[in-house]
Structure 1
Amino acid sequence: MIRSMTGFGRASNDNGRLGFNVEIKSVNHRYFDLNIKLPRNLISLEEKIRKEVGNKIKRGKVDIFITQNVYDSSTTNVNLNKGLAYNYCECLKQIRDDFNVLDDISVSLISKFPDVITVTQNEEDLDEISSLLLKPINEAVDTMLSMREKEGARLKEDIEGKLTNIEELLVNVEKRAPYTVENYRNKLEERIKDLLVDNQVDEAKLAMEVTIFADKSCIDEEIVRLKSHISQFKSTLSKNEPVGRKLDFIVHEMNREANTINSKSNDIDIVHCVLDIKNEIEKIREQIQNIE
């Protein structure tokens, strides 16, 4: 089952003393880009979180927001960096004196500066905290993946409809292609007769000219390759693994064959069909940018 790269999940967990709220969202991205925002006192758990999430998600820009609720202060330590607080205070005084500004230095102001007050967890509690945190992370990820799978199923159905449209248009191109050479022969013969006084056409030269045109305008190989790409696209679309990049490559090849058919054709009906094919291919290309 294919997945979209757009999704959202939320979960929470607590043990009566400590609790966590986790929110996760993802959008399309060429690679896997994970950003984690968590309390500074839990920074040591970031690598473990990355590994846990990376086992489930292979592509997309993913943001995780973690908030902590402390119900029992015995599990945490609040630390004051006196030296740093003193330096901040002295800098503020220097600014006050040098620029003659109002003196609004306060405990509340200084405490908000980075690293003046830090909160750390007791080392012996980290394993318990890790288990407590990873549970809602996994639940939020699973919720998001469920959303991505539902969106992926919708994308798959829509893309398959567009592939069917392309196949139907390609059938029309195939039916029309044999008449292209015959029409060219008739028009060429008429032009030659208009230029000749006696209306006598050199059949050998005419046949040679038509043969050259037929070789240059033959689109049989391009049609076969385009059909093959469509078949490969369908097969890849049904795989139970990340296929976004491969689909992007295949749709590029489909577009290239359509361009070649268009450049070789001077038949207005074929040109119209190919333009419709290219339009469907472009819509597919836009949609697969959001497939994992």
Structure 2
Amino acid sequence: MLGMTAYAKRCVDSNFGDFCLEIFSFNHRYLDILIHLPTEIQHLEFFIEDFIRKRINRGRLRFTLRFERNQYFDQNYRMFIDKRLVMKLSKFLTWIEENIKIDRSCSMDLLNWPGVIRNQSGKHDNIKEFKDLLSCNLSLLIEDLILYKVKEGENVKNLIHGKLEKIEKIIYRIRSFIPEFERINQDKLKEKLENLHLDKSFDVDFLKKDILTFVRHADILEEIDRIALHVHLSKDLIQKNFPIGKKLDFIFQEINRESNTISSKSNHVEIINLAIEIKVLVDQVREHIQNIE
């Protein structure tokens, strides 16, 4: 089990300069990656995003790379302006100014247009060396993040396991009230039958159906057995190392539904109160589930 709240950081002194990689992980239903890079290496954004996506399954991730370049980097990564693109944009701005009467944007706005300022690579081997260096440190950063996630997941697993143990104890207590619950229902049914005034025109089949419906609604053993099965399945599931958050959330929705059915069927005060306790524990577990993949 892996948690979703995590943090990792790596600072490196390399031939290209000093850079610091930092990544935060937060709760999220899906995988959402936000990347902040210096202008000089913004063209590596998709490379970094793809690298992270292959290793992380779920959560909102915020990755930041701070970089202090040196002379060696400047020799291999040079910034240049795409003059042809600037000329085209300038013509468009002139047309807009003349025909739509909108003031021309300042030259800095032109420089912010995607593709106007680009990086011109130097020697291919040196560029590959920089990407390899980045890949190596990204791997180490993700490993640190996953270790943090494992620790977080272990804490959440212990919390969920404790709640499951409490639900099991409540189920045991509900079972202990079943004989009394059945006796109350039998007495109620007997009282109803004694108060009936039957004559020859009375529909016996209708009475049988009514009794059958009463008995079916008075039986909560099936719901108790299903909750016990869900608890057993959840205990087994939280020991797994693959993402289980969505599956576990669905199981606890089912436990909540079964406890609702028990409280609606039962006319026994203790059983109703115990069913409510299960619902409270389910809500607490579902809060914890939001913190795991």
Distance change (3 Å), C-alpha of 1:217 and 1:243: same
The equivalent residue for 1:287 is 288
Q: CA deviation at 1:240?
A: 1.7
Q: Is the 8 A contact 2:2 2:241 kept in 1?
A: no
- Secondary structure at the residue paired with 1:120? strand
| Percent identity of paired positions between Structure 1 and Structure 2 | 31
- Secondary structure at the residue paired with 1:238? coil
Distance change (3 Å), C-alpha of 1:180 and 1:120: same
State the one-letter code of the partner of 2:62. D
Aligned-partner Cα distance in 2 for 1:267–1:91:
79
Q: After superposition, what is the alpha-carbon deviation per residue over 1:220-275, rounded to whole angstroms, capped at 9, x for unaligned? A: 11111111110000000001221112212211221222122122111111111001
The equivalent residue for 1:130 is 131
- Secondary structure at the residue paired with 1:14? strand
Q: Is the 8 A contact 1:33 1:62 kept in 2?
A: yes
How many residues get paired? 280
Distance change (3 Å), C-alpha of 1:226 and 1:105: closer
Gapped regions of structure 1 (runs ≥ 5): 197-205
Give me the CA root mean square deviation: 3.4
Q: After superposition, what is the alpha-carbon deviation per residue over 1:75-123, rounded to whole angstroms, capped at 9, x for unaligned? A: 221213345556777899999999999x9968x7875665554333324
Aligned-partner Cα distance in 2 for 1:262–1:112:
63
Aligned-partner Cα distance in 1 for 2:272–2:175:
12
State the one-letter code of the partner of 2:3. S
Gapped regions of structure 2 (runs ≥ 5): 198-206
Q: CA deviation at 1:129?
A: 0.8
- Secondary structure at the residue paired with 2:167? helix
Q: CA deviation at 1:6?
A: 1.2
Equivalences for residues 39-78 of structure 1 within 5 A:
39=38, 41-43=40-42, 45-72=44-71, 73-78=74-79
The equivalent residue for 1:228 is 229
Aligned-partner Cα distance in 2 for 1:161–1:41:
50
TM-score scaled to structure 2, two decimals? Answer: 0.79
State the one-letter code of the partner of 1:166. I
State the one-letter code of the partner of 1:121. S
Q: CA deviation at 1:285?
A: 1.4
The equivalent residue for 1:18 is 17
Q: Is the 8 A contact 2:255 2:282 kept in 1?
A: yes
* 113-122 or 29-38: bigger deviation: 113-122
TM-score scaled to structure 1, two decimals? Answer: 0.79
Aligned-partner Cα distance in 2 for 1:71–1:61:
32
